[in-house]
Amino acid sequence: MSQPYHTRKVSVTKIFTFDSAHRLDDYIGKCANLHGHTYKLEVEVKGRTDHRGIVVDFADLKKIVTEHILAKYDHQFLNDHLPFNTTAENMVVFFFETIDTYVNKLDSAQDISLQRVRLWETPTCYAEITREDFDRESK
């Protein structure tokens, strides 16, 4: 059996979906009215593989997102649960902050970092924030 590629950094992504309703404040157009979406949330982490060749257990990512995003916002009226205008842009930054907090607490997190969160609002529209942009804006 060949050696694992444990000296390489690898990005891994887990995808989730959830359904929610919202309306946009201070907006002129159809989205000012109550409407819903099937959101697709892509969560990408990057790190070095361990002795088994694993960066992060997908089950760990699933647990974080299920407990801190899906359990709170799936089949909910987002305006009742989020303290900001529920645009995809605001939501993706909030989700990045939330997920990042818990990724950093993983036992295997010594060399793992959240790299990107992408929130699809429709099959053709998404908002995204990367680690680079998040860190630059946080300074």
Catalytic amino acids? 31, 75, 121
- Give the separation between CA 16 and CA 31, rounded to whole angstroms: 23
Flag whether 35 is marked binding: yes
37 is in an annotated binding site: yes
Two tokens, residue 47: 């790190």
6 is in an annotated binding site: no
Residues placed in the known binding site for Zn(2+): 22, 35, 37
Residues placed in the known binding site: 22, 35, 37
